[in-house]
Chain A
Amino acid sequence: MADNVSTMDSKQYIVVELGNEQYGIDIQYIDNIVRMQRITRVPKAQRFFKGVINLRGEVIPVMSLRLKFDFEEEEYTNKTRILIIKPDAQASVGIIVDAVKEVLTISNDMIDKVARDINDERTAYLSGVGKHEDRLISILNIAEIFMEKEAENA
């Protein structure tokens, strides 16, 4: 019974680390998780796009979540991963994170909405803050993070 309820009102999130913060990404967007690999720089691209990688014969653009969020630039370690995300069916894009921790199931009522601060556009990238035991996990709004890209392009 309890299981039924949890599957109905909860989602699975992949929890990643950026500095000392933890972010959750809805698992339905994730296509793949790969180790850090050689990135080919693309001239004149947005600052947070590190370039493109070759993922089994496909060329996929990769962005740094740290740069996107105006954090310090990362140092690549053994734990650095690229999450391959499919915001829509046709296009893939990779995001670089410091580490991938685990998969968590968080029920929807454990997620608090965050108020959008107009002065801080970064709040738009979050769809809420989830609580899991005593941890706080910021849930990323994937659609918002990539949607903005198209506006910038235009």
Chain B
Amino acid sequence: MDVSQYLEIFIDETKEHLQSLNEQLLILEKEPENEGTINEIFRAAHTLKGMSGTMGYKRMQNLTHNMENIFSEIRNGKMSVTATIVDLLFKGLDALENYLANISSTGDEGTEEYTDIISQLDVCLKQGLGEMPAAAPAANAAVAVAVEEKAAEASSDKEKYRAFKYADHEKHAMNEAIATGQHAYGITVFIQETCLLKAARAFLVFKTLEGLGTVIKSDPAVQDIEDERFEFDFSMVLITKESLEAVKKAIMSVSEVDSVYLSEIKADEIVMPKEEVVEQKQETAGATQAAVAQAPQAAAEKKQTTQNSKPVVNRSVRVDIEKLDDLMNLVSELIIAKNGLVSINNADESAKQDNSGFNEQIEYLERITTNLHTSVMKVRMVPLESVVNRFPRMIRDLSKKLDKKMELYISGEDTELDRTVIDEIGDPLLHLLRNAADHGLESNEERAALGKPETGSIILNAFQEGNNVVIEVKDDGKGIDAEKIKAKAIAKGTITAEQGDAMSDKEIIDLLFRPSFSTAEKISDVSGRGVGLDVVKTKIESLGGDVEVRTTLGQGSNFIIRLPLTLAIIQSLMVELGTEKYAIPLGSIQTIEDIPVSDVKYVQTKEVINLRGTVIPLIRLNEVLDVESVKAQDENLTVVIVTKGDKLAGFVVDNLIGQQEIVIKSIGKYINNSKMISGATILGDGEVALILDVNTLV
């Protein structure tokens, strides 16, 4: 059965089920006796098993089946929920997520079996049912595997093909061949060292093999072999229907071939290069626990490689049917309005004299397009929930890893953001949460000594504020010590001691957002590599937002992210410079002022104004943008006061045109963009106006 058409649905639904499993499992960990939860888990696991089976993902089905067994016993009351079981189940979920990631990027579940997880699940099951003593058998089995691996390794220095790194298309070719009942053989041929024409011999070997099947890879490359650029051996991968023996015989029939090593490449070897498997199995021999930890890691590496390739599934948005109905209604109205205009046009002259009907229709049309725009925007909106719902699980894992008690409170997860923003915001939030958990919260003992509740709180709060969405990541930890940062910055040479003394605490804390600035004394794998905060800042700024931090020493920190509701359409102020028109995003405009020329002062030869007690630098846009000003020098300057974070600047413009809703377009990659222009928009008369990037100009 061809199930590819269901792939998208499968991926979406699997994601939902995995998410719900994660959530329910977290609840189960806290309330092991909660019957409703275990029923829910069982149902989700069962559905998942059924779905993956139907789609032909056997490995995924197998793993789910083993997990389901445990759920089933727990449900029947034959097993109790222990920390080990929950940990193991979480690992199982991670493995399932890896399968899913593989499927959505390649359409195939991959070849990782996660046998270690499955065998541990099995052990757990039997243990829980009182059928088997401690984990010894699993360890034994693992040792056996390791011995086998070592034996294999001994001969592997001759079997050079084992060191092959396969490109994706080669793996694909092999997988396909194996699936269609052919064999993939790794072959290393040694030619007698007395051989004079080794290239010719190699050519004969290739010729023989080509007669049997297809050579998909060779080392050295075929061209190098033909040019005799190799020692006395070469390796290749052959896909053929013939048996191993037949291939060996065929190669040996070429004269002056010294020896040949070959073996079949199994499907599971294809994805993981040989050395990695050996390494991992040896870990298994050492400690079963360690191996389990290894598996997700190896999987994570793999995930990274797959993420680079283009996903096979289109990105989709699930849309509430009501939102679509709204759209449909608006489009119908649009048609009616158009017909209204047509009929006015067709009406006789006397009616045309009377403009009121026409104006009425125009107004009607305007109302519809505005509503239509809002509706379409709503369709693109996704609740923040889809990003944050994986965080409780992450905090749980971090809590165990860092040995700190902590709890994540999420509120406002129903706040909606544009799909493009949602896709990008996950990583920055992850960074901030990790920071809060690792650097923000004190250790259990410290907290107790300070008289704080032992369990630290991390609060993720989201809400809408005008045209922005605000996301806060708060913790009740130790806060940020400005003195410490100052000392560090001076030590690192980021600032001088004099500069440090002149800086306010806020300015010093902002240093945290500079590239490679980490104050963690010891580098942990959770955070502290000094790449965190500046990456967060860059990412959020690229989304058109900004991030600030408020902190009270000893009481905690609060990172505040402000993001625009949508990226594609923004409100802007249109201004005129000479004969040119530019748009300034309304979100970054604070006020518009009329300043008498006589009020302009100079500080270090730069023009500034003193506006209600604040000194604001002036930026003459016509100079920055090389516009010839046609306007005679007035007595008053029109100054648009813009903000970047808490920095203010005044843009001097020639004229204000007014507020307008604009659609952002890119200006193309060929034209050299100085970054002062963030895009372009098309005005009502078809003219192109450029959008100024306030962040770069200030």
Contacts and interface: CB of A to CB of B under 8 A. Distances in A.
Given A40-B580, A53-B688, A59-B680, A46 B671 contact: yes
A44 B627 CA distance: 11
A58 interface: yes
Interface string A112-154: 0000000000000000000000000000000000100110110
Q: Which of A44, A58, A93 has the most CB of B within 10 A?
A: A44
A83 B669 CA distance: 17
Contacts of A149: 670, 672
A41 interface: yes
B626 A59 contact: no
Interface in A30-67: 38, 40-46, 49, 51-54, 57-61, 63
A43 B674 contact: yes
A92 interface: yes
Contacts of A40: 580, 680, 687-690
A93 to B, nearest CB: 5
Contacts of A61: 667-668, 670-671
Given A38-B687, A43-B625, A59 B676 contact: no
Contacts of B674: 43-45
Contacts of A2: none
B687 A44 contact: no
B673 interface: yes
A92 B668 contact: yes
Interface in B636-688: 665-674, 676-677, 680, 682, 686-688
23 contacts: A40-B680, A40-B688, A40-B689, A41-B580, A42-B667, A43-B625, A43-B674, A43-B676, A43-B677, A43-B690, A45-B671, A45-B672, A52-B667, A52-B668, A52-B671, A53-B688, A61-B668, A61-B670, A63-B670, A63-B671, A91-B670, A93-B670, A149-B670
A93 B624 CA distance: 26
Contacts of A52: 667-668, 671, 680, 688, 690
Contacts of A38: 687
B670 A146 contact: yes
Contacts of B671: 42, 45-46, 49, 52, 61, 63, 93
A57 B686 CA distance: 8
B691 to A, nearest CB: 11
A41 B120 CA distance: 67
Nearest to B581: A40
Range, interface on chain A:
20 to 34
A122 to B, nearest CB: 18
Contacts of B665: 58-59
A91 B668 contact: yes
A153 B689 CA distance: 22
Contacts of A92: 668
A92 B670 CA distance: 9
A24 B288 CA distance: 70
A54 B670 contact: no
A91 B676 contact: no
A71 to B, nearest CB: 20
B625 to A, nearest CB: 4
B626 A153 contact: no
Interface string B356-368: 0000000000000
A52 B691 CA distance: 13
A54 B684 CA distance: 12
B668 A45 contact: no
Contacts of B668: 52, 59-61, 91-93
Nearest to A60: B668
Contacts of B687: 38, 40, 54
A125 B79 CA distance: 76
Contacts of B676: 43-44
Contacts of A146: 670
The 9 closest A-B pairs by CB, nearest first: A61-B671, A44-B674, A43-B625, A40-B688, A59-B665, A59-B680, A61-B668, A93-B670, A46-B672
B627 A43 contact: yes
Nearest to A38: B687
Interface string A54-86: 100111110100000000000000000000000
Contacts of A49: 670-672
Contact of B673 (A42, A87, A93): A42
Contacts of B680: 40, 52, 59
A41 B580 CA distance: 8
Interface string B612-630: 0000000000001111000
A34 to B, nearest CB: 13
Nearest to A92: B668
B610 to A, nearest CB: 29
Nearest to B579: A41
A59 B666 contact: yes
A105 B626 CA distance: 44
A58 B668 CA distance: 10
Contact of A91 (B626, B669, B672, B682): B669
Contacts of B667: 42, 52, 59, 61
A83 to B, nearest CB: 14
A91 B676 CA distance: 21
A149 B669 CA distance: 9
Contacts of B686: 54
Nearest to A53: B688
A44 B688 contact: no
B687 to A, nearest CB: 6
Contacts of A51: 688
A36 to B, nearest CB: 14
A41 to B, nearest CB: 7
Nearest to B621: A43
Nearest to B681: A59
A45 B688 contact: no
Contact of A59 (B580, B627, B672, B682): B682
Contacts of A45: 671-674
Contacts of A93: 668, 670-671
A59 B688 contact: yes
B677 A42 contact: yes
A87 B668 CA distance: 12
Nearest to B689: A40
B365 to A, nearest CB: 19
Interface in B318-361: none
